[in-house]
Every structure is written in C-alpha cells, then in structure tokens.
Structure 1
Amino acid sequence: MAQSAHLTTPVDAVVARMRVLDATLPERDGIAVFNRVYLTVTEEFDRLLDSGFFPDHRAATTLNVRFAKRYLTVAEEGRAPACWRPLLQFRRHPGVRPLQFALAGINAHIGHDLALAVVDTCRTLGCEPADLEDEFDRVGDLLGTLEERIREDLMPGPDLLQLADPLTHLLGSWSLERAREATWSAARALWALRGLPDLAEEFAERLDALVGLAGRMLLTPLPD
C-alpha cells in the first residue's frame, strides 16, 4: 500500500508525464533535449525529497510541481509565453546544437517560470517568498550541478574546436547563477505587486519578453 501511495505523489506524476514526452518526441528535437535534462533534474529532486534534503517537504513539493507544470503546458499543449517561443521556433533547426537547446530551455524555465511558480506557491500555501528561500536555493543548487554536467556532456569535443569556439563565446554570455538571482528578485517584486494587478501583469510581461530575448540569442544557429 505504501508503495502505491508513493507512485501517485504529485512529483511522480510530473516525472511520468516527462517520461511520456521522452518516449514520444524525436531525439534531436529541441524540446526533447531539454526534456531529458529536466527529467534528470526532477528524478534527482524526487530522490532528495524522499531523503529529507529539503527542510519543508510540502513547500518543496508545491514549488517543484507548480514550476514543472508551466513547462509541461508548453511541451504538451504548445501554449507558450514569449520566453519559450524561440525554442519552439528553432526546435528542429539543423544549425542549433543540443547544448543550445538545453540551456535555452533552462533560461526560459528559470528566468521566467520559476518566478511565477514562487508566487503561485506563496498563494497556495499562504506564505511569503522569504519562507521559500531555503527551498528555492536548494533547487537552484541542484540545477547548478546539472548545468555543469550538461556543458560537459553536450559541449563538442576537441576535434570540433573550430565549432566550439563560437559556441563557447555564445554560451559564455549566459549564467545560471545570474539568472537565479534575477528570478528571486522578480518573484519578490511580483509578490509585492500582487495588490496592483495591472502593474504586476505588466511586470510579468516585460520579464517574459526579456527572457525570450536571451533565449533567442542562445539559439543563434552556428555553421557546420
């Protein structure tokens, strides 16, 4: 009985949906590349959640699920805010490398979706962003470890150094750490503006557009 209960947890449901996408999307598709990355993160999150890594189990679960559902809406339904549109547009472009797809997805998801997920979680749990800071930081640390692995696994080898030079230059302009810091500030600002819905909506739209611009630059096609 305990095992059946575990298999129906919200995080396990998210993992199951990502596994379906992994099995159905073409391997080289840009969304598929990001999905494989995100599936790895979510599986690791689930393991750490069970091990007691997160101080507040309920807050960590709620944040993770609210966060993941924003991506799943894009991947499953194709309804995308501006931050995801470059990846959808270039997902099959032969001149875009897998590393670019992976980091463009992380840029959209961290830079935009995470800020909104923090606000969603605060509303659900009746708390303040400061109450989620530990969970936010630990999720960010997990993503930071994964980003290093992504760069190691997907960066072209020494035999492709001529290609890697412009790729290294392009991707060196984006930093997960800076994105995390900006996202936390954006989440706090959106929460502070919750009593001013028109202003909050305008702020969210500007954030969405700015993150989308960064994503478009990350997806600049490179020569063979």
Structure 2
Amino acid sequence: MTTARRAAPAGVEQVVARMRALGASLPPGDGVAVFNRVYLSVTEELVRRLAAGAFGDPPAAAELGGRFAGRYLRAVEGGLDGRAVPACWRPLLLLRGHPGVRPVQFALAGINAHVGHDLALSVVDTCVALACEPASLEADFDRVGELLTAVEERVREELMPGPDLLDLADPLTHLAGSWSLERARDAAWAASRVLWSLRGLPEVYEEFTEKLDAGAGLVGRFLLTPLGR
C-alpha cells in the first residue's frame, strides 16, 4: 500500500528558504557557509521525510524541526549583522574566515553548537507550544537524531582529507575523533528533561541555560583550533 504524502508545514519550508538565502549570500569557503550547507541538507531531508509520513507525530516533528532550525538562523543572522549571539555560536562566527581552520572543523563546530545548546531548548519550546511532555517527543527526537548522525558521517567522509594525507598522528584526526554526535545528542535529551523540570524556577532555569551555552562554546573553541593547511 502506498503511503499518502503530506505537505511539510510552512514553518519548515520557511527555514529551508532562509538557509538557501543565507548560503547564497556567503562565499563558499566561509565557515558559516560550510555548516549551512550541511544543515540545509539535514532540513531538506527532514522535509522529505515529513512528506513521506516517516515520523510518528508529523506535526510535532515539524514543530521541533522548525524551532530547532530557527534558533540557528536567529543566532547566525544576528551575528552576521553585528548583534550579540549565544556563546555556543561565537567561535564559528569569529573564526569563520580563518585560513588555518579546515572545512570539517567548521561543520563539526556548527553541529556542536546546534546540538549542544539549541536542541535541548528547542525540545522545551516545542513542549510549551504543543502543551505536551518531553517524553511524547522522544521517538521523533530519536528519528531526527538518526538523520543528523547520517549527515555527520557524510561530513566526515566528504570533508576529511584522503587516507594518503591522514594518519593517527595528524592533529585533525585527533580533533575530529574527539567529539561524538551520539554523546552530544544523549546529553541534549538529558538537558531538555532537566530544563523542563526547572521551568517553574526561572532563576535556576536561566543559570542552567547559561552553563549549557558556555559549555557548548568551550567545545566549539576546541574544535576550531587552527591547524594550518
């Protein structure tokens, strides 16, 4: 039996359009442009899977995907306009033109900022908007995470140097191998549950959010260590 195709919600389509416009406005080698290409492919695949009915609760998955992408776009568009941005995005915006940072580093630093900070907050935003508990989003959270993992694997394959240039002593091998998307996803889910439990304690909630942001920013600075050409 053929699965009925559903149109993706307008919110997801809108963030795809904004990502395409952002990419067109930046030089291809710009660090933000590198990550934007990666994330655009994730969001386009999300649109396809939403249309194919691949999620248990498509409206909730679309809400999460749209809010997740929206946090990235607000941060980066604001940073490019000279406005203050979350700490997690500052390293990428600061070093996006550095000649000693490799493309795979830009991509991983963007994924780290987005998953390490934005994802947990997006789960909470979605739960508030839909008046639901995080547990009701867990299955589709995992499906979105699987999509991110597949793209991360492709990033490593496409942006890492070939085997003739890469060995265990290469600093890039060590750097790229020191960060795990799977662990970052697990931490984001745990953080979302903590944040949800703290929503009635504004001061503690804000403090936890700031620490989450600072921690992701610290990891981002590490991932963007200039290594030369």
Q: TM-score range by the shorter chain?
A: over 0.9
Q: Which residue of 1 aligns with 2:158?
A: 153
Kindly provide the CA deviation profile for residues 51-103 of structure 1, in whole angstroms up to 9, marking residues without a partner as x: 01001011001000110010001222214200110111110000000000000
Q: Which residue of 1 aligns with 2:192?
A: 187
Q: Which residue of 2 aligns with 1:74?
A: 75
Kindly provide the CA deviation profile for residues 88-124 of structure 1, in whole angstroms up to 9, marking residues without a partner as x: 1110000000000000000000010000000000000
Q: Which residue of 2 aligns with 1:90?
A: 95
Give the drift of 1:9.
Answer: 1.4
Q: Which residue of 1 aligns with 2:49?
A: 48
Q: Which residue of 2 aligns with 1:25?
A: 26
Gaps of 5+ in 2: 1-5
Tell me the amino acid that sits aligned with residue 160 of structure 2. M
Paired residue secondary structure (2:165): helix
CA RMSD of aligned residues (A): 1.6
C-alpha contact 2:168 2:174 (8 A) present in aligned 1: no
Counting matched residue pairs gives 220
Kindly provide the CA deviation profile for residues 161-193 of structure 1, in whole angstroms up to 9, marking residues without a partner as x: 369821010111100000001000000000000
The two structures have a TM-score, normalised by structure 1, of: 0.95
Give the drift of 1:8.
Answer: 7.3
Among all aligned residue pairs of Structure 1 and Structure 2, give the percentage whose two residues are the same amino acid.
67
Aligned partners of 1:83 and 1:7: how far apart in 2? 29
Q: Normalized per residue, which structure has more helix? A: 1
The two structures have a TM-score, normalised by structure 2, of: 0.93
Q: Which residue of 2 aligns with 1:124?
A: 129
- Establish whether residue 16 from structure 1 lines up as the match of residue 21 from structure 2: no
Gaps of 5+ in 1: none
Runs of 4+ in 1 over 2 A off after TM superposition: 5-8, 158-164
Aligned partners of 1:77 and 1:127: how far apart in 2? 30
138, 143, 151: which one pairs with 2:143?
Answer: 138
Give matches, 1:204-223, under 5 Å.
Answer: 204-223=209-228
